[in-house]
Structure 1
Amino acid sequence: MDKLQVSRHSDVPIFRQIVTQLSFMIESGDLEPGQTLPSARLLADNMDINRNTVARAYTQLSELGLVESHGRSGTRVVGPGPAQENSPARDQARAILQQAAKKCIELGLSAAEIQSLAMGLAMRAEEDLLKVSFVECNDDRAKYFANELGAHLGLKVKPLVLGAFDPKEEQADLVLTTFFHMVEVRGLFRRPRTEVVAIVVAPHVQTLVQIASVSKKRTVGIWYRTDEQAISVRDSLAQAGIKNIEVLYGTEDEDLKGADLVVIPNEMPDLKARLEGRVRVIEFGNVLDAASIRMVTEVVSDMQATKRGGAQDTAS
C-alpha cells in the first residue's frame, strides 16, 4: 500500500484516484486475493484524508467485484475474477498498454512516471465517457435490461435497484427506467446534467399467445416479486382481452388452489423449478420496445456528441 498516492491538485476526485490505483494493484497482482486492506480509518489517517473518502472508494471497489467487506474482519481482496482475467477486451488492452509502456521506457520515463501518466489519462477518459444507468425495482430485471440496453447501445449500462442506491453517489448522465417507475426515478435524479428517459417494456408475443390459448374456463394466476408488478401485468393482459386472471400473493400449495397455470417472471429460474410438477408454469417474457430502443439510441448519440464537444472546448 506504500505505492498508493493521491494529489489534491488533480481535477479527479480523491476517492476516484484511490479506486483507480487499488484496481490497478489488484489486477496486476500487487494485491493478492485474500489480502486484507487497511481499515478506512487507518488508510485515511496515513494519507491525511477524510475517512468517508476511503470508505466511498472501498464501496465502489466492492461494487466492481474486486473486494469484499467482512465486517470487523476488514475488507479483503477478491481479485479480478476468472471472467475478467479471461476477457478478450482485457487481453487486447494489455497488449496495447504493454507496447505503449515499452515506448515510454525507451523515452526515458520511469515505471512510476508511466503509471502516474497512464492513470491520469485513463481517469480523464473515464470521466469523458457517457455514463448510463437503468433503474428497476428488483435486481434480476435491472441486470437483465441493463445488459440488453448495453448490447443495443454499444456501451456499458449500470443496473440500479430502487431503494438500494444513493442517488447522490450516482454520477449518471442518462438514467433509463420504465414508465411504471418514471415519476419516482425522476424525483431521485433532480439534476440539471442528468437526463431521465422512460422506455417501454412489452410482453413477448409468444407469452401472449401461450396465455391467450388457455381456456376461458380456466384460471391463470400471476406471481411477481411485488404486488404492484403482478397487478401491472394483470392489467396489461386484461387490455389485450385476457380476463381469466388472478394475482397470487404466494407460491405455497394453499396460494395455488384454483390456479390451472401460473405466470412468473422469466428471470427467476429457481422459482420455475420449485413450481414445476405442482402446476403448469408460463414464464412472462419481456422485450424492449423497438421504438424505445431507437429513441434511446438517438438520445445517446446526441449526448455523446455534446459531451465530446464540451471535452474539446475544455482541452482547447
Structure 2
Amino acid sequence: MLSSMSVSRHSDVPVYRQIVSQVTLLIEMGLLTDGERLPGSRLLAGNLGINRNTVAHAYGELRELGLIEPRGRNGMVVVGGSEARSSSEARSSSEVRSSSEVRSSSAARIKAREILAVAARECLRLGLGADEIRDLVGGLATWEAGQALDVRFVECNAERAGYFADELTGQLGVPVKPLLLGAQPAEPPDLVLTTFFHLAEVRARLRRPPTEVVAIVATPHLQTLVQIAQVPKDRTVGVLYSTTDQATAIRDSLASAGITNIQVLAGPDDLRGADPVVVPSEMPELARALRGRVRVIEYGNMLDAASVRMAGEVVRDLQLSKVWHSPSHE
C-alpha cells in the first residue's frame, strides 16, 4: 500500500510531515489495518529516494500519535483503529473540544476524504501525477478560503431573518447568516442583505465602517394575495406578526394593492372581529394559536429573482476582490 506514496522536496511541508500525513490518511481510510506491517525505514527511504533518518522521524511521529508501534522482528505495525483516529484528531487540535465536537470533526474529515478520493482518481485518469494533484488541491483550498465572505441578512425579527437567510443561502450558494436589526456583529460583515423596508436604517447603522448593503425584494406568493382578495369587503382581515411594525408594513403593502379592509392585531387574543387572520408562514406557532377560532391565511413570501441575481453579482465581485487582495496576490 505504501508503494503509492510519494513526497515532494519542493513543497513547503517538510518531507517527514508528508509521510506522516499520507500514512495517517491510509489508516483513517481503512487502507492500512491493525496488525499490518510497515516497510522498514531503510526500505521506505530507498523507495522514496530520501534519507533514512527522515523516515525514522516520521515513524516516531506516528508512534506518538498512537497509530503504529514496534513489534520486534515484525518492525512497525499499525495499531489503534478508530480509537487511534479519534485520539489523534483530539491531540492535534490546538484547542480543547468536547467529545461531540471531536465526533463532528471526524465525520467531516471522513466525508471530505470520500469527496477528495473520487476527485483524485479522476485526476489520475487524466494523467496528472500525485504532485500535480497535491498542488491543485492546495491552490483550490487557498482560493476557496479567500472567497469566504461574511454575508448577513438583516430583519427586525428572528423568524424572518432566519427564514430569508436560509432561502438566500440556497440561492446564492454562499452561507448567509441571520442578523437582527440593531444587533452589532463582532466584525463588520462583507455584505449585508435586507428588505427595502429596512434599507435606510441598515445603511445608517453600517455607515462606519462602510459595509456593502443590498436590498432584496420580498413579495407575497400569488396564492396568498388571491386568498386575501377573495375575502368579502364587509369582513375584516386581521394581520398578526411578531412586531407591530412588520404587521403595519404588510397592511400598507396590501392597501397599495387595493385591499383596504385590513386591521393590525396586537396579539392572538386581540382579534376584534377579524376573520380571517394573516400570519407569517415562518411563524407556525401563531397559526397554531389561532386555529379553531378563526380562519388563518399564512402569508408566504418569495424572493424576487432579479434582486437575488443582483445580490449574486455583488457576491461574486466581493469574492474576486477578496482573493485578489489576499496576501498570496500581493
TM tier relative to shorter chain? 0.5 to 0.7
Q: What is the CA-CA distance between 1:190 and the residue it aligns to?
A: 2.1
1:250, 1:296 → 2: CA distance?
Answer: 35
Question: Which secondary structure does the structure 2 equivalent of 1:170 belong to?
Answer: coil
Q: What is the CA-CA distance between 1:302 and the residue it aligns to?
A: 1.6
Please tell me whether residue 155 in structure 1 is matched to residue 190 in structure 2.
no
Question: Which secondary structure does the structure 2 equivalent of 1:304 belong to?
Answer: helix
**Structure 2 letter corresponding to 1:260:** D
Q: Relative to 1, partners in 2 of residues 1:278 and 1:236: Cα closer, same or farther, differing over 3 Å?
A: same
**Structure 2 letter corresponding to 1:197:** V
Q: 2:253 aligns with which of 225, 236, 240?
A: 236
Q: What is the CA-CA distance between 1:124 and the residue it aligns to?
A: 9.4
Q: 2:187 aligns with which of 151, 170, 182?
A: 170
1:191, 1:143 → 2: CA distance?
Answer: 25
Could you tell me which residue of structure 2 aligns to residue 144 of structure 1? Answer: 163
Gaps of 5+ in 2: 1-85, 119-137
Counterparts of 1:82-161 in structure 2 under 5 Å? 91-95=110-114, 126=145, 128-161=147-180
Could you tell me which residue of structure 1 aligns to residue 51 of structure 2? Answer: none
Q: What is the CA-CA distance between 1:92 and the residue it aligns to?
A: 2.8
Please tell me whether residue 190 in structure 1 is matched to residue 207 in structure 2.
yes
Query: Do the aligned residues in 1 keep the contact of 2:147 with 2:323 (CA within 8 Å)?
Result: yes
Q: What is the CA-CA distance between 1:308 and the residue it aligns to?
A: 2.1
**Structure 1 letter corresponding to 2:226:** V
Q: What is the CA-CA distance between 1:79 and the residue it aligns to?
A: 3.0
Could you tell me which residue of structure 2 aligns to residue 288 of structure 1? Answer: 303
Please tell me whether residue 271 in structure 1 is matched to residue 292 in structure 2.
no
Q: 1:302 aligns with which of 317, 321, 325?
A: 317
Q: Relative to 1, partners in 2 of residues 1:301 and 1:27: Cα closer, same or farther, differing over 3 Å?
A: farther
Query: Do the aligned residues in 1 keep the contact of 2:147 with 2:320 (CA within 8 Å)?
Result: no
Counterparts of 1:198-237 in structure 2 under 5 Å? 198-237=215-254
Query: Do the aligned residues in 2 keep the contact of 1:26 with 1:79 (CA within 8 Å)?
Result: no
**Structure 1 letter corresponding to 2:282:** E
Query: Do the aligned residues in 1 keep the contact of 2:89 with 2:106 (CA within 8 Å)?
Result: no
Query: Do the aligned residues in 2 keep the contact of 1:201 with 1:287 (CA within 8 Å)?
Result: yes
Q: 1:248 aligns with which of 231, 242, 265?
A: 265
Overall identity of the aligned pairs, in %: 55
> Normalising by structure 1, what TM-score?
0.62
Query: Do the aligned residues in 1 keep the contact of 2:281 with 2:299 (CA within 8 Å)?
Result: yes
1:91, 1:279 → 2: CA distance?
Answer: 51
1:256, 1:299 → 2: CA distance?
Answer: 43
Gaps of 5+ in 1: 1-24, 32-36, 38-65, 67-76, 100-117
Q: What is the CA-CA distance between 1:277 and the residue it aligns to?
A: 0.3
1:203, 1:193 → 2: CA distance?
Answer: 31
Question: Which secondary structure does the structure 2 equivalent of 1:176 belong to?
Answer: strand
1:299, 1:124 → 2: CA distance?
Answer: 18
| More deviation, 183-192/286-295 | 183-192
Q: What is the CA-CA distance between 1:170 and the residue it aligns to?
A: 3.0
Q: What is the CA-CA distance between 1:217 and the residue it aligns to?
A: 1.3
Question: Which secondary structure does the structure 1 equivalent of 2:325 belong to?
Answer: helix
What root-mean-square deviation, in Å, do the aligned CA atoms of Structure 1 and Structure 2 show? 3.6
**Structure 2 letter corresponding to 1:138:** N
> Normalising by structure 2, what TM-score?
0.59
Counterparts of 1:8-19 in structure 2 under 5 Å? none
Question: Which secondary structure does the structure 2 equivalent of 1:209 belong to?
Answer: helix
| More deviation, 124-133/207-216 | 124-133
Could you tell me which residue of structure 2 aligns to residue 105 of structure 1? Answer: none
1:290, 1:27 → 2: CA distance?
Answer: 47
Query: Do the aligned residues in 2 keep the contact of 1:221 with 1:261 (CA within 8 Å)?
Result: yes
Query: Do the aligned residues in 2 keep the contact of 1:173 with 1:193 (CA within 8 Å)?
Result: no
Question: Which secondary structure does the structure 2 equivalent of 1:190 belong to?
Answer: coil
1:174, 1:26 → 2: CA distance?
Answer: 39
Q: What is the CA-CA distance between 1:293 and the residue it aligns to?
A: 0.8
Q: Relative to 1, partners in 2 of residues 1:153 and 1:291: Cα closer, same or farther, differing over 3 Å?
A: same
